[in-house]
Amino acid sequence: MIKVAILTLSDKGSKGERDDTSGPAIEKIIKKINASVVSYEIIPDDKSRIKQKLISLSKKADLILTTGGTGVSPRDVTPDATREVIEKTCLLSFRFCPIQ
């Protein structure tokens, strides 16, 4: 069984000022396939914290899915932090549809 970690990056979400809807939606999809969610967390858009969390999650998960932190504001650093800790880039394109 594939072990999946879900990491939502959001300053407001990490403070409880905004509901995270994408993380739970991803978790719902993961539970429908042959995988288990071993971690689901919301952390702020902080580059060093994101890098540390990705490294620690890589020790217990086969796959880490991130959501958030990909906009154009200076605080949206998820892609930058991810590039600094990964060994290889795998570009995927997903078509999202409503969860039934």
pLDDT on residue 40? 97
Closest listed residue to residue 81, CA positions, set 56, 46, 57 = 46
pLDDT over 80 (residue 78): yes
Spatial CB neighbours of 71, under 8 Å, sequence gap ≥ 6? none
Give the up-direction half-sphere exposure of residue 66: CA atoms within 13 A in the CB hemisphere: 23
The 10s digit of each residue's pLDDT in 10-50 is 988 889 999 999 999 999 999 888 899 999 999 999 999 99
The architecture that CATH gives domain 2-85 is 3-Layer(aba) Sandwich (3.40)
pLDDT on residue 26? 92
pLDDT on residue 92? 64
- Residue ranges per domain, the chain? 2-85
Q: Which of 26-35, 41-50, 72-81, 88-97 has the highest mean pLDDT?
A: 41-50
Phi-psi group of 69: left, alpha or beta (phi > 0 → left; psi -120 to 50 → alpha; rest → beta): left
pLDDT on residue 75? 78
